[in-house]
Structure 1
């Protein structure tokens, strides 16, 4: 970097007079639109080609069902992801490939935003390209952009909030609070975890500055934008007794210990082991490079978020979107290191990178036959949850056919979880099955079955002997057991199908059967 350009870049810091908007913008390198564009086009092609492999994930089946029942909220998540599912299937068809178009678009947008962060840190063409490739090929991004999940939109929205926040910190232009507020408001309408990001960045600015960004009325305006956008979702949750907090508490209680034990190791593998030195270099860079000292709040935000998640027993992947900006920060130091080291070190780095990319692809994308998923499921169980739903529905159809024809008009199918219900709702009509019911998550709100249905209960999945359902649904007789296609080990392999009897009307039994997790 030339001396004149270096002075211009430093002039955007907080110890020097702030230049005008044009000068601050000209201090940045040009956006590498062509190479980054090539990366996202290749990313789109790969994700699209593989989007029809295996089948729907159980969560996707749930989001498709929720999208058909549009609301301002659901028991376990705000509305954005179900709305995206509704839009994508309406435009491109209710198939895995049609649903996942929106996931692919979100993945592409994430790569572009993270590459823009590299530019924000002064990274030129090579640093932006490096960041784009690293982001697109990271295990976590591959996994969450292959399918539509709340994390798919969340990764993009966290990146967007962070990018706007970085623009605010670098330029000192308070108007960026409006963009931060808008992105945060949409983020709150998708998943409330964005509050962790805001808290982490807020603590970072309070500790490391530049604190002057808090001394502007634009902050209040940004908060106002976020509140307006998030208000319908918050009001829905309040009017329904804050069910998302109940779900979160159950997750922490059931999985909190495991999440805490795995938290640190999983931070090292979720993106890719080969990227660990890169994002660590990013964490260190704001402490050693005066050109990016304005971004120290970002360096502080990541450990703050991790500490909070450890205390709450949150899932290890919740903090991963905050590692992507660290990769953008570490791109220049990583490239500088590669330029300094010898041929042998570069060759070894290349081999390690190739191995890690291959592992990321195998774990994050459906490239293996279903019969070969065993080793992958030990690391990432999500591919297994995309296998066997049509065959599962066939098994339920056979069990339904075992009910005498004279009793089917008053019989009911009740599933133990939303994935089973979503599969039967999607695949069941073609097999002659009626509308399924489930007391799980938002499916509980979409019930109960009519009280006139007093016939046999086809119970999918069973219930615990000491559960509230034990005295409400009794006399269960197993009639079949589901086996997943080719023996893939997922949550539905071995699911029991039983014929049972209901002991009281559905209208009074349903609230007692409700399950939040």
Structure 2
């Protein structure tokens, strides 16, 4: 037996490098691949999948996610999605039609359980952990790399917090994770069906958010810079693109007819984030969202993608990440926007950390890091009884745990408003309710649907759901320290009370708003009877849409 044969056989049985089953790139019609291939230019087949070990991590992740999803009440955005689902449209001011449709379906399901409502998010979040491990395998990672990747993704605070809710992130992040896995797998297999599947997933994700084109722009730039350029010449890639464009046309038409509110919202997001550091902290905030283990592997994976010959043929993924992050930073987007690229970068870091000489330091470092990651993520799990949850007085704990605090107080707010209206003489009771925040309107419409008059708001997407009829007297609900808009819109104003002063959701929201520069008070929301100066059809367009 030759020395080269012995060498290849030893590689085949290692835990971190690729195993036998080399396939010649030229035989597949592919262009020569960069580093990590054998001396004949072959592409290594992936190692065996560590189904038992990864399955155990996925099971634990599922248990934690289900537990998190079954706590407390609906989140403020979830209530808004239910309201949006009652107003079907091809698009909305702040997202596509997918989540409102899922929220509407969850709302009408028998039982009205939190898990039933959030089922889609839970399944996709758990699936993302598995896809991350599969990505590590495709990158040449053995059992250790696959498990390390799965643990890192399962202990990511972003996944734990937002994956247990029905929200845009719970769909967007898993789809990005899956698309990058399909692209990495295509490099090895050259199966164009993977490109078509990626195109279909992109079309689906465009019904959730309009962010995924950034990923494809990044992939395109990466392929042009480092290959495989052949990817851009594959017909099924462009068939998938055509499917995406066709599926997006109705949403584009809706946006055009309504003045492109999603584009306007980008400026609002940048303005709000500017008060908590804005562009300067976006990258650190995004990396920290991956958790301790995830952040270490993410940074290490990006570095190794830039330098490792073993991973060079996947360097286009690093370019895609740079393009996405640069676009988000320039536009002032959220730190959660690039989270769909966490898995592939973490997987690259795990593969390199468990390969060759790197294993020597990884063996002693990985255990304490995993323990620290689990401790960090446990702090975001809502284990406290509902009646013991209180809101801190400082902004950053609230901002980090808004996904928890935003689930409290809404039923109580509805009851307080019902009581305030019932206390009025029948001839003074309002015919509608107008609020200055879409969470408030969503909560009142959801929890007070049988006891309150019609609810409206001029904030965010709620603006497009309708307005009060005629010159109806309304109950205006807004911050007690900022009555600028009701003063401009109302010919007569009568303060009848304050609500929500000790409700966690209201207090948390007002604390955040105060920190980003709005003159709000944590002492509750003002109730104001308002007789409009003009019919609402004239007054409504003068109020802020976003």
Q: Which one is further off, 442-451 or 74-83?
A: 442-451
Q: Any idea what SS the aligned residue of 1:158 has?
A: helix
CA distance in structure 2 between the partners assigned to 1:25 and 1:229 by the alignment = 36
- State the match for 1:406 in structure 2: 427
Shift of 1:154: 0.6
- State the match for 1:366 in structure 2: 382
CA distance in structure 2 between the partners assigned to 1:58 and 1:176 by the alignment = 37
Among candidates 129, 137, 149, match of residue 167 of structure 2:
149
Query: Any unmatched runs of 5+ in structure 2?
Result: 1-5, 13-17, 511-521
CA distance in structure 2 between the partners assigned to 1:464 and 1:439 by the alignment = 15
Shift of 1:185: 1.1
2:469 matches 1:450: yes
The number of residue pairs the alignment matches comes to 504
**Kept in 2: contact 1:8–1:27 (CA 8 A):** yes
Q: Any idea what SS the aligned residue of 1:477 has?
A: strand
CA distance in structure 2 between the partners assigned to 1:3 and 1:198 by the alignment = 36
- State the match for 2:438 in structure 1: 418
CA distance in structure 1 between the partners assigned to 2:465 and 2:480 by the alignment = 20
Q: Any idea what SS the aligned residue of 1:284 has?
A: helix
- State the match for 2:370 in structure 1: 353
2:32 matches 1:15: yes
Q: Which one is further off, 82-91 or 307-316?
A: 82-91
CA distance in structure 2 between the partners assigned to 1:477 and 1:85 by the alignment = 35
- How do 1:310-329 and structure 2 match up within 5 A? 310-329=329-348
- State the match for 2:448 in structure 1: 428
* 1:194-237: CA deviation from partner (whole Å, max 9, x where unpaired): 12211111111111111122123333212112112222222222
Shift of 1:183: 1.3
Among candidates 531, 535, 538, match of residue 508 of structure 1:
538
Shift of 1:414: 0.9
**Kept in 2: contact 1:53–1:366 (CA 8 A):** yes
Shift of 1:389: 0.9
**Kept in 1: contact 2:409–2:500 (CA 8 A):** no
- State the match for 2:216 in structure 1: 198
Aligned-pair Cα RMSD in Å: 2.9
Shift of 1:420: 0.8
2:220 matches 1:215: no
Q: Any idea what SS the aligned residue of 2:497 has?
A: strand
Q: Any idea what SS the aligned residue of 1:286 has?
A: helix
| Cα 1:475–1:515 shift into 2, 3 Å | same
Q: Which one is further off, 155-164 or 471-480?
A: 471-480
2:153 matches 1:135: yes
- State the match for 2:402 in structure 1: 381
Shift of 1:352: 4.0
Query: Any unmatched runs of 5+ in structure 1?
Result: none
CA distance in structure 2 between the partners assigned to 1:51 and 1:76 by the alignment = 24
**Kept in 2: contact 1:159–1:325 (CA 8 A):** yes
**Kept in 2: contact 1:371–1:487 (CA 8 A):** no
**Kept in 1: contact 2:500–2:506 (CA 8 A):** no
Q: Which one is further off, 162-171 or 250-259?
A: 250-259
| Cα 1:456–1:234 shift into 2, 3 Å | closer
CA distance in structure 1 between the partners assigned to 2:312 and 2:242 by the alignment = 29
Q: Any idea what SS the aligned residue of 1:490 has?
A: helix
Shift of 1:118: 1.0
Q: Any idea what SS the aligned residue of 1:290 has?
A: coil
